[in-house]
Structure 1
Amino acid sequence: MTPRTLVFVGPTASGKTALAIQVAEALAETGQPAEIVNADSMLVYRGMDIGTAKPSPAERARVRHHLIDILEITETATVAHFQDLARAAIADCHRRGVLPILVGGSALYTRAIVDRFEFPGTDPQVRAYWEAELERRGSAELYRELQRQSPAAAAEMLPANGRRIVRALEVIQLTGRWVPTLPSWEYALPGVVQIGLALDRELMDRRIAERVDRMWAAGLVEEVRGLVARGLREGRTASRALGYRQVLDFLDGGCTEEQAREATVAGTRRFARKQLGWYRRDDRIHWLTAGHPDNCARVLRLLGE
Structure 2
Amino acid sequence: MTRKHTVGIIGGGGYTAGELIRILRCHPAVELRFVHSNSQAGKPVSSIHQDLAGDFFMDFTAEVDPKVDVIFLCSGHGKSRGWLAENAVPAETLVVDLSADFRLTDDFVYGLPEMNRTAIKASKRIANPGCFATAIQLGLLPLAAAGKLQDEVHIHAITGSTGAGQQPQQTTHFSWRNNNLSVYKPFQHQHLAEIGRSLNLLQGEAVPDLAFLPLRGDFARGIFASLYLDTKLSEKELQVLFHDYYAEHVFTHVVAENPHLKQVVNTNKCLVQVTKHGDRALIISVIDNLLKGASGQAVQNMNLALGLEETTGLQLKAMVF
Q: TM-score, normalised by structure 2?
A: 0.30
Higher relative strand content: 2
Q: TM-score, normalised by structure 1?
A: 0.32
